[in-house]
Amino acid sequence: MPVKKIFNIIIKRKQELELGFFGALASLALAIILRRIVAPLVRLFFVKEVEGIEHLPKQGPVIIASNHESYLDFICFWAVSPRSVQYLAAEVFYKSKFWRPLMFATGQIRVDRYSGDKQGKAKAKEHAYAILKNEGVLGIFPEGTRTRSGEMGKAFTGVTRFALEARAPILPVGMVGTFDIWPPHKRLPKLKRCKIRIAPPLHHHEHFDKEHTEELLRHLTDELMLVIAGLAGKEYKHHYKLDGNDKGKVVEGEIIKNESRK
């Protein structure tokens, strides 16, 4: 790689991650090690099967939306993705001596969930939009945090708002088995392998120019979560009622209406 290109990458990381020059250089070196050595090991020891990776667009902006059961969710998808993915990451990772350098090395976006720092949250949102504007890949866990019970939690509508305002498709991803491998109450993972199931991207072209009301955002978010639930083999209990008293269900990532769940 030409020296000039390496220097430009370091400067870009320095600006994006708000690091000094040598901090950016160290994070780049760690990023190379993670991609060349750690990612293959993650795929070998923790990923059994990846279904539908061809649905990930080769270029252009896209939002990865997944159920959230474990630390392994973003680690495993990062390891199998042919494109660089930058996730919205909780502040807890940046307080850990182990996770903090990994967050910087992989370019994740810090989100202080419980802080009253409006400026910090606005900055994280601005960074996320910049990724999509530059045709990158943004990762979001709509539930906001890892499940403590193994069941899917109610999703926030931010994922859909990002998609509509940035005019980006959403790629639904179902993580299967990560809760069993590394649940929140365990310090270390089991040596088992998960499955990753990916559906075709969801496009919302027809809604781009509409008013993005809370009702619309909730409707589209719940449809997304039904697809993710179908991929993950889970039940999403928090969705709206599609028709009358009937609840929707998902078969192989496709929403089926007018049928009750069994």
Cα atoms in the 13 Å half-sphere on the side-chain side of 232: 26
Which pLDDT score is estimated for 32? Answer: 93
Percentage above 70 pLDDT, the chain: 90
pTM comes to: 0.86
Per-residue pLDDT reduced to its tens digit, 33-46: 999 999 999 999 99
- Which residues lie across from 82 on neighbouring strands? none
Per-residue pLDDT reduced to its tens digit, 218-230: 999 999 999 999 9
Which one has a higher pLDDT value, 116 or 213?
Answer: 213
Nearest to 71 by CA among 149, 184, 171: 184
In total, the chain counts a number of residues equal to 262
Average pLDDT for 50-66 = 98
Residues 6 or more apart whose Cβ sits within 8 Å of residue 5: none
d(CA 77, CA 67): 12
Banded pLDDT at 1 (limits 50, 70, 90): low
Instruction: Please check the confidence at residue 6 and state whether its pLDDT lies above 90.
Output: no
d(CA 194, CA 186): 17
Instruction: Please check the confidence at residue 258 and state whether its pLDDT lies above 50.
Output: no
Lowest mean pLDDT among 55-64, 92-101, 107-116, 144-153: 107-116
- Which residues lie across from 49 on neighbouring strands? 195
Lowest mean pLDDT among 21-35, 80-94, 144-158, 176-190: 21-35
Banded pLDDT at 3 (limits 50, 70, 90): confident
Banded pLDDT at 118 (limits 50, 70, 90): confident
50-256 is a CATH 3.90.1300.10 domain: no
Which pLDDT score is estimated for 220? Answer: 96
Using a 10 angstrom Cβ sphere, with 0-12 exposed, 13-18 middle and 19 or more buried, the burial of residue 35 is middle
The DSSP code for 185 is T
Instruction: Please check the confidence at residue 18 and state whether its pLDDT lies above 90.
Output: no
Cβ neighbours around 114 below 10 Å, total: 7
Average pLDDT for 69-82 = 97
As a whole number, the mean pLDDT across the chain is 89
Instruction: Please check the confidence at residue 116 and state whether its pLDDT lies above 80.
Output: no
Per-residue pLDDT reduced to its tens digit, 158-180: 999 999 999 999 999 999 999 99
Strands (E), the chain: 47-51, 62-66, 85-90, 109-111, 137-140, 170-176, 194-198, 249-251, 254-256
